Chains A and B, each alone.
Chain A
Amino acid sequence: MAALRVVEALGGNRAVRHVLRWSLACAPVPRRTAAHFTFQPDPEPTEYGPTQKMNLFQAVHSAMDNTLAKDPTAVIFGEDVAFGGVFRCTVGLRDKYGKDRVFNTPLCEQGIVGFGIGVAVAGATSIAEIQFADYIFPAFDQIVNEAAKYRYRSGDLFNCGSLTIRAPWGCVGHGALYHSQSPEAFFGHCAGVKVVIPRSPIQAKGLLLSCIEDQNPCIFFEPKILYRAAVEQVPVEPYQIPLSQAEILQEGSDVTLLSWGTQVHVIREVADMAQEKLGLSCEVIDLRTILPWDIETICKSVTKTGRLLISHEAPVTGGFASEISSTVQETSQRSLQKK
C-alpha cells in the first residue's frame, strides 16, 4: 500500500479554534487577531548588497520601485493604487515616477487585465493589481482565454509576456468568503500562465522581480496576512529568485512536507512538533511556483523520504495538492511502496 498521504490545510484553522476556545475559557476578551502561524524569517541574504528591514508589503513595494526605476516602459495600475493601494504596496510610487506610470483604473477587473494585456502586447511592462484574489474571477476569461494563449495562438507573432498580475491572497483571519480565497488551482489548470506565491518578504521581492522580467504572463499571489506580520532583512537592490523552482527549507529523511504561501510557516512548525514529539525527521519544502511546478525537486525528496504530506488553505477537491499527489504517485511510486 502506498504510504502517500495528502491532507488539507486543517492546521491553520485548528490552531485558530484552539486559541478561541482557550481564550473564551481563560480570558474575558477574545483575541480576534490571533495568528495561526509563526512567521520564521530567513537569514539576511549577503549576496545582493545592502539590506533593509522590510515587511512583505514593503518588499513588494521595493520590487516595483526597482522596476519603475530601470524600465521606462513599466506601468502600474489597478483599483486605488494611485494613493498607495489599500495594502500600501504602491505608496509614494506615483509621486516618484509620475501619474502616467502609476494610476487608478475604473473599478472593473476584466478591464484591468484586458488593458494590461494590451499594454504588454504593445511591448511595455505591465503590472496590474487585482485588489483581492477573490475578485480575479471577472478577469478569468481574459487570463485563461487571452493572456495564457496569446503567444501560442499567434504562432509567437504576438505575446503578452511582459504582463504581471498581482493580487492579495489567502486567509486573513476574518476575511470570510471574499477576502480569503486561494484560487491558485483554478489557474493551475491553465497552460500559458505562471502562478507564483511567496512565503516571505525576501521571497516576495525576488520572485516578483522574476515574474515582472519573465517573458510569460504571471500571476503573483501575495499572502496578505503576511503584509505586515512578516519582517526580515531584504536586499535594497533588485535580485531575482528563479521561477518553477521549489526550495528545500529543511532537510529531513522520514517525510516530505510540502506547501506554499503562509502555510509554509505552518508546516515548519509541524516539522518541529513531529521532531519533538515523534522523533520524525521532516523535509520541509516551499513549492513557490504553482505552475509550471518543480516536479523534480518534489519527486527527488519523496524518493528519499518515501512519504509526502501536502497542505494548502484552498478546498481539497480539485486543489493543487491533487495534481501534486497524483504526479508524485506516478513518478515516485516505487519509493512510496518501499516504506
Chain B
Amino acid sequence: NKAISADARTMRSARDARTMRSARDAKRKGSPLRSLSDFTSLEEKPQFPGASAEFVDSLEFIQPNVISGIPIYRVMDRQGQILNPSEDPNIPKEQVLKFYHTMTLLNTMDRILYESQRQGRISFYMTNYGEEGTHVGSAAAMNHTDIVFGQYREAGVLMYRDYPLKLFMSQCYGNANDTGKGRQMPVHYGSKEQNFVTISSPLATQIPQAVGAAYALKRENADRAVICYFGEGAASEGDAHAAFNFSATLECPIIFFCRNNGYAISTPTSEQYRGDGIAARGPGYGIISIRVDGNDVFAVYNATKEARRRAVAENQPFLIEAMTYRIGHHSTSDDSSAYRSVDEVNYWDKQDHPISRLRHYMLHRGWWDEEQEKIWRKKSRKMVMEAFEEAERASKPSLEHMFTDVYSEMPPQLRKQQESLMKHLKVYGEHYPLDSFEK
C-alpha cells in the first residue's frame, strides 16, 4: 500500500501542500507558452504539460487506501472530555450554551414537526437527528455575512443564525407568513437576512452555484466566504465533480462541507463509492481536505474555523467531510427499518450523539445541570408549540402568488392564465378550498 502515499496521503501534509501551491503559483505567474530552452535540454525529465512528475522505470499502479483511510479529527471523546488541550477551542460559556440551545431546540422542533406530519397536519418533513453537531459547529465558525448553500438537512445552520421558529413553521405549512410564498415542499427554507440561499430538491445543484457565488465574493474583496453543504450521496452527482474542479481552478473562497451519514435514503455508502469516502477525493482536485467527527461539535468548529480563515486569506477551496450517522428516517416518506437494523440506529442515538456529548462537556464544566435541562426542555417545547399553533392557524397565501415571480415581471400570457383562473373560480369556486387562502 505504499503507493497511496503518492496520492492522498502526501497531499495532507502541510509541507507538500505548500510545495504544490508554490509549483502552481509558478505555473500561474509564468507565461502559458514555454520558452524554447525548455525543450532543448538533453536531460531525461518529463516535459508533459498535464502533470509535474518524475519518470519511474518499474510498472506500479497506484492503490487506493480504503482500509486505513484519512483519519477522523476529534477534540472531545464520547464522554465530553477534551482529548488534547492544545486543540481546545476554549469557546466561552455563553457561546457553548448557544450551541447546546440551538441543537436541542432543533431537536425539539424536529420531534414536533415529525409528529405533525404523521398526523397529516403537514405534508412532508425531514428530521436532523444525529447531525445537529455538524450544523451548529460549522455555523458558529462562519461569519453571519458568509453565504450558505445547503442541501436540506441543515436547518441547524439557520437556527444558529437566529432564524425565527415562526418562519420555519410557516414554510412547512406554506402559509401566508412564509417568505417563500408557500410554493415549495416543507423544509425548503431560505432567508435573505440569514444569507441562507433557498433550498431546492434537485441534489448537488447548489454545489457549483456556491462556487460561482464564492468567485463573485472574491472579486468583491469583502472578507466573505461561502459554505456549501451536501450529503455523501449527493457527492456522486456530476455537479459535485463540476464544483470541486471549478473551485480549485478558479481559486474560490469556499468550504465544501460533506455530511457523510452513511446512507442516501436506503443506499449504504458501500453502494455509493469505493474510495476512502469523500475527503479522499479532495486532493485529486487539488483541494485541501480534512475528515472530522461530526458528532463532536468542537472538532467541526475547529476545522471550519481554520478552513474559513485560510479560504478567505488564500482564495482557495477547502473540503470538510464530517462523519456522522443518520439516526432518523430519510424523510417522513421513508421507513428506514426496511434496510437497516434498530440496533445500529440505537447505538448512535444512545452511545454517540452530538447533543449528549456536548451535554457531558457542559456538565463537566459546571455550566449545566439536570434542573436547567428540565427547565430548558419545557421552555423550548413551549416555544415550538406556540409557533406551531400559530402557523397552523394562519391562512394560506393569496392565490395570485401562484403566478408572480415566475419572471421579475408578469408576461402578458401569464397574466392571461391568471385571469383565466380567476374567471374559473368565479363559476366553480365551490369546488376549491378557497376559504383557506388569503383573499
Residues of chain A touching chain B, judged by Cβ–Cβ distance below 8 Å, are: 73, 75, 100, 103, 105-106, 108, 110-111, 113-124, 126, 138, 141-142, 145-146, 149-159, 161, 191-192, 194, 215-216, 244, 292, 295-296
Chain B CB within 10 A, most for which of A138, A156, A296: A156
Contact partner of B197 (CB less than 8 A), chosen from A105, A111, A121, A149, is A121
What 5 A-B pairs have minimum CB-CB distances, sorted nearest first? A118-B212, A114-B208, A111-B242, A122-B216, A118-B209
Contact partner of B246 (CB less than 8 A), chosen from A115, A154, A216, is A115
A-B pairs with beta carbons under 8 Å apart, 23 shown: A73-B216, A103-B250, A106-B242, A108-B245, A108-B246, A110-B242, A111-B243, A114-B212, A115-B208, A115-B209, A119-B215, A120-B212, A122-B217, A146-B202, A149-B200, A151-B405, A152-B406, A153-B180, A153-B200, A155-B179, A157-B179, A191-B406, A292-B411
Q: Are A156 and B411 in contact (CB under 8 A)?
A: no
Q: With the chains together, A94 CA to B198 CA distance in Å?
A: 33
Q: Are B178 and A155 in contact (CB under 8 A)?
A: yes
Please choose the segment from B187-195, B257-265, B372-380, B386-394 that sits at the chain A interface, where 4 or more of its residues have CB less than 8 A away: B187-195
Q: With the chains together, A222 CA to B215 CA distance in Å?
A: 27
Query: Chain B residues near A292 (CB, 8 Å)?
Result: 407, 411-414
Give the distance to chain B from A274, nearest Cβ to Cβ, in Å. Answer: 30
Query: Chain A residues near B209 (CB, 8 Å)?
Result: 114-115, 117-118, 121, 146
B181 at the A interface (CB under 8 A): yes
User: From residue 386 to 428 of chain B, which have CB atoms closer than 8 A to chain A?
Assistant: 401, 404-409, 411-414
Q: Are A122 and B413 in contact (CB under 8 A)?
A: no
Q: Are B212 and A126 in contact (CB under 8 A)?
A: yes
Chain A CB within 10 A, most for which of B197, B214, B220, B407: B407
Q: Are B242 and A114 in contact (CB under 8 A)?
A: yes
Q: Are A156 and B250 in contact (CB under 8 A)?
A: no
Q: With the chains together, A191 CA to B119 CA distance in Å?
A: 35
Contact partner of B212 (CB less than 8 A), chosen from A100, A116, A244, is A116
B340 at the A interface (CB under 8 A): no
Contacts A73-B216, A114-B242; A157 near B190 (Cβ below 8 A):
yes
Contacts A106-B245, A106-B246, A153-B200; A111 near B208 (Cβ below 8 A):
yes
B184 at the A interface (CB under 8 A): yes
Give the distance to chain A from B312, nearest Cβ to Cβ, in Å. Answer: 15
Q: Are B242 and A108 in contact (CB under 8 A)?
A: yes
Closest chain B residue to A214 by CB distance? B408
Q: Are A75 and B219 in contact (CB under 8 A)?
A: yes
Contact partner of A153 (CB less than 8 A), chosen from B198, B245, B409, is B198
Contacts A108-B246, A146-B205, A157-B192; A115 near B180 (Cβ below 8 A):
no
Q: With the chains together, A244 CA to B401 CA distance in Å?
A: 23
Give the distance to chain B from A106, nearest Cβ to Cβ, in Å. Answer: 5
Contacts A114-B208, A152-B183, A155-B180; A100 near B219 (Cβ below 8 A):
yes
Known: A119-B216, A121-B212, A153-B200. 18 other contacts (CB 8 A): A106-B245, A108-B245, A111-B208, A114-B209, A114-B242, A114-B243, A118-B149, A118-B211, A119-B215, A122-B217, A145-B200, A146-B200, A152-B406, A153-B188, A155-B181, A215-B409, A292-B412, A295-B412
